[in-house]
Amino acid sequence: MNRFKNFALMVQLWKNTKGQDLIEYALMAGFVAVAAGAIMPGVATSISTIFSRVASTMTSAAAQGS
């Protein structure tokens, strides 16, 4: 019986991938932004502005949610 419970737990853990895609996309967007900023210095300012706005929006949303 204990083996069956362990197997069932392993199957649940294997299937649980919620949120993984979102993190991967965020990391990829950050990497692309850094690469674009390094290649084109003029774009770095606008990228910084966009990320600052996103951070500001997320901070205010977190403050309103709690």
Report, as ranges of residue numbers, the positions in the chain whose pLDDT lies below 70.
1-4, 6-7, 9-20, 66
Torsion, Cα of 29, 31, 33, 37 (10° steps): 180
CA distance 11 to 5: 10
The pLDDT score that the predictor gives to residue 34 is 83
Six token digits for residue 30:
């950050």
Of 56, 59, 35, nearest to 47 (Cα)? 35
The pLDDT score that the predictor gives to residue 37 is 75
3-state DSSP call for residue 1? Answer: coil
The pLDDT score that the predictor gives to residue 18 is 61
Six token digits for residue 4:
């069956």
